[in-house]
Structure 1
């Protein structure tokens, strides 16, 4: 696996670790940031496009890609009103996130045992424009 593939594999796995984390961990990671559900949906779509390329290079399996696409379908089904909500608030209020959490956990549990589970969450985000 080349360095670039390793970087994107790590990015994808850490993002999935965030999606798979228990609700309190997710909310703590998001903190007071005003990231919207739309941001999460876009990140899921980005993870899918990364996984497609990595699957073509045998970094992920077709089964992994199938699971990521299921996550994308679930988040993609959120209506426009839900997408404007604050992601941290939506995690507790919308049952779609329970489905996403379960799918992400399933993805992580199909990985070879080269990494302990649970995976560490991504580094906390820095301040974003518009954050309070």
Structure 2
């Protein structure tokens, strides 16, 4: 259920009030489905309480409509990261610390993000970090 191509304006914020029809859990439940009765009945799982990639994309559209490009980019990266296993996200975090990775290691990470997870915006950020680290002498030595 993709809502990423929905045209939103800043007037649609907050989505939960102004456009709840666009919001769904990763399992497809609507906000109206998330009730205490559903929890007690066992109809709500932990997966139902996670944010969906589509919701993050919509939040990015709202940020862009409000002229907040960097925040929009953060939401885009976050939507991509929902497909990446938690352990991989932690490895990414550690790899992006200054002096933790070589240029080749960061390029390998960027390629993995693109090719394994289709996380092109995240990959671009890793490549940008590699360039900045190179300019500031913050890359690890090649192994």
Higher RCO, 1 vs 2 (CA within 8 Å, ≥6 residues apart): 1
Query: If the length of structure 1 is used for normalisation, what is the TM-score?
Result: 0.31
State the TM-score, normalizing by the size of structure 2.
0.29
Which one has the largest radius of gyration? 2
